[in-house]
Chains A and B, each alone.
Chain A
Amino acid sequence: MGKMKAAIIGSGNIGTDLMYKLERSEWLELTAMVGIDPNSEGLERARQRGYATFSNGIQGLEENPNLADIVFDATSAKAHVKHNEVLQRMGKMVIDLTPAAIGPFLSPVVNMGQHMDARNVNMITCGGQATIPIVHAVNEVANVSYAEIVATISSKSAGPGTRANIDEFTITTRRGIEEVGGAARGKALIIMNPADPPFMMRDTVYCEVEHMDEARISAAIHAMVKRVQDYVPGYRLKQEPIFDGNRVTTFLEVEGAGDYFEPYAGNLDIMTAAAVRVGEDIARKGVHHS
């Protein structure tokens, strides 16, 4: 079976990083990048690498419907609503990296299998991608009554969109912790640290559990970290989980692959890596509707 053709909408940081990751994919073949600014660095890089580029937005894809079966949207929540209408009409599979949350929330190592039929899936948030797998792993063996995550990212890696809508991060991540991670109740905190050299992405996951079993929980966390490392090699435990009464605390560090972003921006890397993994899973299962 040949590779499935893919396009990226959004020529900003996320879109550009996605481009480099898709180049390495065994299952997806990047064909095009769509932007709205003909002078954007992302479009220029895509042009240089021989991809079709369009600076007239979604129209570019509408006029070239056979360029891609699967479309990654790395624009904004507002733009995504419009893009999705067009793409659904065209019968495309859509992977949404914006906070629009039209489709189901997806963490590739948690609930990929449940949404193979969805035509639009949402990648939650960077903090969600980093922490929900751990909440899920702990929940599987110990029932999580409350999970709280703290995502610390370097100021340099937080774009203006994230900054202007920081509540979207906390609220969407909390929903993800509950709906995908399985915690009865969730809470998300985000901190932007301006230290220079930049702070590597850190995530702390606090879980309060109903059935404390240190050995089982610890094994589940270690196993999950390995699974995430499959697509984010720089995802690791900073130290062994700390147990305290009915609480387990997991300290994670996420080092990016250094494709377009510097390695400290693990928050951006885990989003694009997870999105590519989702696209590959779809391609592997050959879910063609078009």
Chain B
Amino acid sequence: MIRKSDKPLQITEVSLRDGSHAVAHQFTESQIRSAVRALDEAGVHNIEVSHGDGLGGSTLQYGRSLIDEMKLIEAAVEESKQSRIAVLLLPGIGTVHELKQAHSLGASLVRVATHVTEADVSAQHLHMARELGMEAIGFLMMSHSAPVAKLVEQAKLMESYGAEAVYVTDSAGALLPHQVKERIEALRGSLSIEIGFHAHNNLSLAVANTLVAIEEGATRIDGSVRCLGAGAGNTQTEVLVAVLQKMGINTGIDLYRMMDLAEHIIGPMLHRPQEILTGSLVMGYAGVYSSFLLHAERAGKRFGIDSRDILVELGRRGIIGGQEDMILDVAAELAHKSKSEVL
């Protein structure tokens, strides 16, 4: 592969944040400690720790954390010798207060995430991150849902607020390889900061799409060991490391250590295998926010309807990340409709 960027790759492990969705936000402190210790020893550059919906995400809307994320961040900082501890912040959910608190506990990098068309809500938090001396990164979620020109425009806004990198975030796992290519290519031509890529494996394209992104010049890459992330999870980090190594791209990450921690540390944390079952597949196919998976399954059970119908309807209505309340609402409406049809 001939990469279109000469900057080194930086891998961010997101299982301890994105994976929070897959375990219904039930991470324990000892799980975080053992995972961070092993990831740090394996040489992973950044490790993200937060509620799945970012700082302040522990709510009735998204699910409450078993353990306060600040405790988990503190524990992660204590365990890590080289890896930087990252946090996620979604403006509208978390505020600069939580960001300052995470920073005071030792988090040194923040990804400020907005829907792909709403970058201007991130100005406050990106500015604050820079002021605090944290690395500030923009995260454009549901990147599949906007035209390329819109994505570029929004990424440039984040750059203007001080972002040091901007991610194409495929929250629904809906992007196809050629769509990843055109997005990264367009950003490379318009930004002077680094470009990142965050995948979901709902269509089994996460590794393939990540390779396309790297080839096109993305240098900030997210992965989750054992695909421990929302929906079908993310680019499987240990697999990506192996593939890159075969391609002659050295990430500086120890492959055997990654395999071992995948088997012995992250594996036991999974509530169920992260395979692509119907729910995730539908999300990738219909372009629905991956974190909705467990919520839609619960709502389907509660109202006695097929969770696929809920997910497809959410996609049809243009429901975006963070609107988990609409899942119950749509489910109740669909249940009501099917009842009256029976009558």
Q: Does B322 contact A (CB under 8 A)?
A: yes
Residues in chain A near residue B270, CB distance under 8 A: none
Q: Does B121 contact A (CB under 8 A)?
A: yes
Q: Does A160 contact B (CB under 8 A)?
A: yes
Report the Cα distance A251→B317, complex, angstroms. Answer: 17
B145-156 vs A, CB cutoff 8 Å, 1 = contact: the mask equals 000000000000
Among residues of B, the one whose C-beta sits closest to the C-beta of A165 is B124
Query: Which residues 232-273 of A have a CB within 8 angstroms of B?
Result: 238-239, 242, 247, 249, 251
Tell me if A166 and B60 are in contact (CB < 8 A).
no
Query: Which residues 60-93 of B have a CB within 8 angstroms of A?
Result: 60-61, 91-93
State which of A164, A190, A196, A202 has its C-beta within 8 Å of the C-beta of B120.
A164
Report the Cα distance A187→B117, complex, angstroms. Answer: 25
Q: Does A152 contact B (CB under 8 A)?
A: yes
Tell me if B322 and A163 are in contact (CB < 8 A).
no
Q: Does B333 contact A (CB under 8 A)?
A: yes
Report the Cα distance A199→B124, complex, angstroms. Answer: 25
Q: Does B263 contact A (CB under 8 A)?
A: no
Q: Does A148 contact B (CB under 8 A)?
A: yes
Give min CB distance, B96 to chain A, whole Å: 6
Tell me if A206 and B117 are in contact (CB < 8 A).
no
State which of A171, A195, A196, A238 has its C-beta within 8 Å of the C-beta of B95.
A171
A251 with B124, Cβ < 8 A, contacts A170-B92, A204-B61 known: no
Tell me if A187 and B59 are in contact (CB < 8 A).
yes
Query: Which residues 187-242 of A have a CB within 8 angstroms of B?
Result: 187, 189-196, 199, 202, 204, 206, 208, 238-239, 242
Q: Does A155 contact B (CB under 8 A)?
A: yes
Residues in chain A near residue B125, CB distance under 8 A: 167
Residues in chain B near residue A146, CB distance under 8 A: 60
Q: Does B123 contact A (CB under 8 A)?
A: yes
Tell me if B121 and A249 are in contact (CB < 8 A).
no
Chain A, interface size: which category? 20 to 34
Q: Does B182 contact A (CB under 8 A)?
A: no
Tell me if A166 and B124 are in contact (CB < 8 A).
yes
Q: Does A150 contact B (CB under 8 A)?
A: yes
Report the Cα distance A251→B115, complex, angstroms. Answer: 23
Interface size on B, residues (CB 8 A): 31
Residues in chain B near residue A247, CB distance under 8 A: 60
Q: Does B319 contact A (CB under 8 A)?
A: yes
Tell me if A191 and B323 are in contact (CB < 8 A).
yes
State which of B118, B333, B336 has its C-beta within 8 Å of the C-beta of A194.
B118
Give min CB distance, A267 to chain B, whole Å: 13
A166 with B91, Cβ < 8 A, contacts A192-B115, A194-B320 known: yes
Q: Does B248 contact A (CB under 8 A)?
A: no
Report the Cα distance A155→B92, complex, angstroms. Answer: 13
Task: Point out which of B97, B124, B325 has the most chain A C-beta atoms below 10 A from its C-beta.
Answer: B325
State which of A163, A171, A204 has its C-beta within 8 Å of the C-beta of B121.
A163
Residues in chain B near residue A189, CB distance under 8 A: 59, 61, 92-93, 322
Tell me if A251 and B95 are in contact (CB < 8 A).
no
Q: Does B318 contact A (CB under 8 A)?
A: yes
Among residues of A, the one whose C-beta sits closest to the C-beta of B116 is A194
Tell me if B120 and A163 are in contact (CB < 8 A).
yes
Query: Which residues 136-194 of A have a CB within 8 angstroms of B?
Result: 146, 148, 150, 152, 155, 160, 163-167, 169-171, 187, 189-194
Tell me if A166 and B318 are in contact (CB < 8 A).
no
Give min CB distance, B169 to chain A, whole Å: 16
Among residues of A, the one whose C-beta sits closest to the C-beta of B95 is A167
Among residues of B, the one whose C-beta sits closest to the C-beta of A187 is B59
Q: Does B255 contact A (CB under 8 A)?
A: no
State which of A192, A204, A239 has its C-beta within 8 Å of the C-beta of B92.
A192
Tell me if B323 and A160 are in contact (CB < 8 A).
no
Report the Cα distance A125→B170, complex, angstroms. Answer: 32
Among residues of B, the one whose C-beta sits closest to the C-beta of A239 is B332
Tell me if B60 and A193 are in contact (CB < 8 A).
no
Report the Cα distance A168→B113, complex, angstroms. Answer: 18
Tell me if A191 and B124 are in contact (CB < 8 A).
no
Binding site for B on A (CB under 8 A): 146, 148, 150, 152, 155, 160, 163-167, 169-171, 187, 189-196, 199, 202, 204, 206, 208, 238-239, 242, 247, 249, 251
Binding site for A on B (CB under 8 A): 56, 59-61, 91-93, 95-97, 115, 117-118, 120-121, 123-125, 317-320, 322-323, 325-326, 328-329, 332-333, 336
21 of the cross-chain contacts (CB-CB < 8 Å) are A148-B60, A148-B61, A150-B323, A155-B118, A163-B120, A163-B123, A164-B120, A164-B124, A165-B124, A167-B91, A167-B96, A170-B95, A171-B97, A187-B56, A193-B319, A195-B320, A196-B318, A204-B61, A204-B325, A206-B60, A239-B336
| The 10 nearest A-B residue pairs measured at CB | A195-B318, A204-B325, A167-B95, A206-B60, A194-B117, A190-B92, A191-B322, A163-B120, A166-B121, A166-B91
Apart from the given pairs A152-B323, A166-B91, A247-B60, 11 other A-B contacts in the complex at a CB distance below 8 Å: A163-B118, A164-B123, A171-B95, A171-B97, A193-B115, A193-B320, A194-B118, A194-B318, A194-B320, A238-B329, A249-B328
